[in-house]
Amino acid sequence: MAEIPLYFVDLQDDLDDYGFEDYGPDCDSMRLTAFLDIPGQDELPPLARLEKYAFSDNIFNRQIIARGLLDIFRDFSNNEEDFLTVMEIVVRLSEDAEPTVRTELLEQIPPIATFLRENRPDFPVVFSEYLIPVVVRDLTDPDNQVRKSSQEVLLILLEQDLIFQNDIENRVCPILLELSAPESDDEYRAEAVSIICKMASMVSKSTVERLLLPRFCELCGDGKLFQVRKVCATNFGDVCHAVGQEATEKFLLLKFFELCSDNVWGMRKACAECFMAVSYNTSPEVRRTQLSPLFIRLLSDPCRWVRQAAFQSLGPFISTFANPSRAGLYIREDGTLSMRPPRQDLEADSTSGSPSPGAYGNGSPTSLTEPVQREPGLRVEGTPAETSVFQHGHSPSNGLTENPKESPAVTRADERTRLSPESSAISELPPASDSPINRRPGNSEDVFSNVLYWRTPLPDISKDMELFLSEARVQEEGCTRVETVYDSCVARNEIQKVLKSLQEHMVNDPDVQAQVQVLSAALRAAQLDSTSEPDSKLPEGLNEVPVSDPGSASDNQIPASASSSQNELSVARILQSTGPGDAQNGTSDHLETQQKLEPTVLEENKSNLQDVIPQPLLDEFVSMTDPARAQTVDTDIAKQCAYSLPGVALALGRQNWHCLKGTYETLASDVQWKVRRTLAFSIHELAVILGDQLTAADLVPIFNGFLKDLDEVRIGVLKHLYDFLKLLREDKRREYLYQLQEFVVTDNNRNWRFRYELAEQLILILELYNPNDVYDYLMHIALRLCADKVSEVRWISFKLVVAILQKFYSNSASALGLNFINELIIRFRHCSKWVGRQAFAFICQAVVSEQCVPVDQFVEHLLPSLLSLKSDPVPNVRVLLAKALRQTLMAKAYFRNAGNPHLEVVKETVLALQSDRDQDVSFFATLEPKQQNITDTAGLEKQN
């Protein structure tokens, strides 16, 4: 207790004047006794001396005391009386007339509070009675630096949860409300608003709603000082996140609309920058109907800076429309995309790898590729009164259809589900539980049906038979013979057209084959019923498809009339999903018109079909690639578009990728390398969103172009090379084996980090290829990197070599492993340069440490060559040999076994190294191995 430590900062010149000559600038701390041992001073107790210099007339003395309060508390906290005395000194220093002393004291309050919480059981009382009043009072200090320090300290205490709820509501909030009142000083008001906005996320939601939210809403409309409104606009998103969706829509949205229409352009710019955070805390209905038109207005703001901020936030704002249940992708806590919900993803990782039914959105494996129901209340553009609803996990399609009209085959449930003009491309898929995908064996994650994303989905045709029979009987009673014959002729022509359109999709697709069977049977039945017209001929290629025998109905105990009715129902549904016609006159004008359209026109119309986000938002995002935007908005607008594109693609889903495909290709060919670089860094994430088929069709060509681009672009591809290749199918992945060696060559040979990254990626890529491919392609790249001029590249390449050996022996490719070992001996053990021989010693040490080679293989092929390095003329080689033998080899139980025939020769080598003329060699040869490296013999020999 006699000595009190104080911190020593950069005050050496001042300390020399007060008797601190013995303390140099390298001294980390000093004791108060040195400060008090000034000649001529009376001897006083430590606490009395502390009080004397805490209230000294010398400002420097008081600063030193304030700066060392934490150590003072450590020395005096054991005695209650001394502790209270120190607390009184703290209060006195907080009222010091010198601002620097008050500032030094404030900076010490957070560590003091942390110390007291850990060491004082009465911390709540002490903190509330002594320290909180100091912080609160300094919020109104006339000195600007003191106020800034108190504000920072208050936020630190709130962030560390050191202030109790009672103090927040009764002490902190009242002073902030007082400072932010209209009659308060303008400077204090601006600072108080900033604190209110920042602390909103650190206190409870109820406290914010009851105490802070009304004042915040009032300050958003402050007409006296625009700086106050600017602070509110800047932090608007944080406040929305703190109060939640309900309070945001009830109280804050109206204020946000007012700020977005403020006369000061800085306010509108701040609103545009926080638009995504505000949208995240609103419902899908509000986001679509209210925020979207508001944001479109910001995109066309007369101020260029507002437009620039709006376009930068356009992609993030669109990403808030993403629905995980619809896109089939979820975001983990680490930011990576997953095909399962985060909680279920963790459960799946703990199992053997087979997904459970609960790990998917709708309880079936098809939820990985089928988006489930849309967000409730999400209205489609152009439908003021109706809402498009997906039933039974149906997925949107990319087909080109117009508004489907009612037909006799449509069920009552289908009549309640109508599509708007913009969402008319959405066709219904069969229920997930009845999908043919579910009936296929294997892991559902590996199953991908081209029916879902490559063309208009073909609906299920096996249900609603009874409902159709009842409706068919009613229709038959009200139809005349003439109408029946006419409808039969029209139906035959329409069936033939649909059959022709299905031919190209028939190969290896059981879904299409099933539809063709039904249509063929219906066509033959129509031909038999017609006596006035010649028999129609089946389209070419349909004879290869087996048609169900009419007698099979009796085998299944289904009446012939029921089978016929079921076929009619199936035909009606297929025709409706493929090309809905007019139900009133039975014609198929729409289908004929569609077939007459040029492919370019079809593609152009298809690119505009999506109902996930408002179409004007997507149009504005696509227009970011327009060169005119760079002149009127921002020169880096294309880069901003490239940066946000994966988020927009996630929101739209892979079924709407056609809306962004052209934009992505335009960005990939942009003349600015920084735009292409941005795409290269995110192409692996986009591949996760799109799936393997779209990736192979649309991303692989762009990926190949990036491989031949500048090094600044190639590094983006290289950093995530493994992440991209693992998403490709095996046949597509093997095409890149030969291209991997192109990464070794760079535009600038001094760019060694490029080759270092290549070695790191190759270590991961090894698991994607079989041992033969690794031996034929990757092994040669590894050996080339091992001979690199840069040491860092060589050392990481040695780890790659060890990983390759582990790949061979773990996959029972011992012959390839032996060939590789012989290649290592030739290249490194007998290398003319000492760095090669040193590398051989390191590789052998890593092989033993990682246990990647069976012990018998190691002692037979590698150990003799390793021991022969004991006579190497270069000490650096012998040093690494000593480390390998003493620290790694001798630590293994196999080499410590007395019955080991190789033990004697290893010991002789170690003894020779211990008597080496080089001190470093003898030191490492004598150093005892680490105990944690000792393992059992059984653990080493399990790979034999």
pLDDT of residue 698: 93
Distance CA 98, CA 560 (A): 103
Residues of the chain under the 70 pLDDT cut: 1-44, 327-495, 497-519, 521-609, 898-899, 930-944
pLDDT of residue 356: 35
CATH number of the domain bearing residue 194: 1.25.10.10
Nearest to 456 by CA among 543, 515, 414: 515
CA torsion 910→914→915→921, rounded to 10°?
110
CA distances from 351 to 344, 356, 364, 779, 937 (A): 11, 9, 18, 34, 30
Distance CA 297, CA 306 (A): 10
pLDDT of residue 408: 34
Instruction: Express each pLDDT in 704-763 by its tens digit.
Output: 999 999 999 999 999 999 999 999 998 889 999 988 888 888 888 888 999 999 999 999
pLDDT of residue 603: 52
Task: Let me know whether 416 and 491 are in one domain.
Answer: yes
Task: Let me know whether 171 and 156 are in one domain.
Answer: no
> Would residue 25 count as lying in a domain?
yes
Helix 711-719 to helix 700-707 angle (10° resolution) is: 130
Rg (CA), the chain: 38
| Domain containing residue 211 | 166-261
Distance CA 805, CA 849 (A): 13
Do residues 381 and 611 make contact, with C-beta atoms less than 8 angstroms apart? yes
Residue by residue, DSSP assigns 299-351 as: HT-SSHHHHHHHHHHHHHHHHTT--HHHHS-EE-TTS-EESS-HHHHHHHHHS
Distance CA 203, CA 173 (A): 11
> Would residue 676 count as lying in a domain?
no
> Would residue 235 count as lying in a domain?
yes
Distance CA 893, CA 333 (A): 42
Instruction: Express each pLDDT in 329-338 by its tens digit.
Output: 666 655 566 6
pLDDT of residue 755: 93
Task: Let me know whether 460 and 588 are in one domain.
Answer: yes
Task: Let me know whether 542 and 404 are in one domain.
Answer: yes
Task: Let me know whether 125 and 170 are in one domain.
Answer: no
> Would residue 76 count as lying in a domain?
yes
Task: Let me know whether 3 and 24 are in one domain.
Answer: yes
DSSP element (H, E) containing 6: strand 5-7
> Would residue 366 count as lying in a domain?
no
Task: Let me know whether 159 and 100 are in one domain.
Answer: yes
Task: Let me know whether 570 and 556 are in one domain.
Answer: yes
> Would residue 135 count as lying in a domain?
yes
pLDDT of residue 674: 95
Task: Let me know whether 491 and 506 are in one domain.
Answer: yes
Compute the residue count for the chain.
944
Longest Cα–Cα distance of the chain, Å, equals 134
> Would residue 502 count as lying in a domain?
yes
Task: Let me know whether 559 and 525 are in one domain.
Answer: yes
- The backbone torsions φ and ψ at residue 65, rounded to the nearest 5 degrees and listed phi first, read -65, -45
Residue finishing a domain among 224, 241, 261: 261
User: Tokens 């076929």, residue?
Assistant: 567
Token pair for 475: 């229709």
Residue finishing a domain among 568, 583, 607: 607
CATH number of the domain bearing residue 6: 1.25.40
> Would residue 716 count as lying in a domain?
no
Residue finishing a domain among 607, 632, 663: 607
CA angle 589, 592, 598 (to 5 degrees): 130
Task: Let me know whether 40 and 74 are in one domain.
Answer: yes
pLDDT of residue 339: 60
pLDDT of residue 55: 84
Which residues face 337 on adjacent strands? 331
pLDDT of residue 526: 60
Task: Let me know whether 193 and 136 are in one domain.
Answer: no
**Would you say the C-alpha torsion 696, 702, 707, 712 has a positive or negative sign?**
negative
pLDDT of residue 400: 32
Distance CA 256, CA 238 (A): 13
Q: Number of folded domains in the chain?
A: 3
